[in-house]
Amino acid sequence: MTNNTICISCGRNLPAKYDTSLCERCLLGLNLRIGEDKAAQVLDELNNILANFPTDIAAAFNKDPAARSIVEVLTAHPRIQGSITMEFTC
């Protein structure tokens, strides 16, 4: 038996295990569809994030005397978490 259930918000096919009419992305409010006119802008922003990320990490590590490792900076440093969040929400 095939499942013909689709998400009522985005139209994605839902696996049989779903007991809802919304997919995970729509339930969490993560509508990631972008128009073709915005695709180039999104790619440029991602390239900027990736280009600056190593220097942001190094600066956070070097300026924080309590930071013991790069992994700690990546997982717990508020400046890094804030910059990631800011880049993806603006």
pLDDT tens digits for 40-62?
Answer: 887 888 788 788 888 888 888 89
Helices (H), 4-77: 24-27, 36-63, 70-76
What would the mean pLDDT of 62-83 be, rounded to a whole number?
79
State the pLDDT confidence band at 1, using cuts at 50, 70 and 90: very low
Q: Which residue bears the tokens 């990546």? A: 74
Distances (CA, A) of 66 to 7, 16, 69: 47, 49, 9
| pLDDT for the residue 90 | 53
35 pLDDT above the threshold of 70:
yes
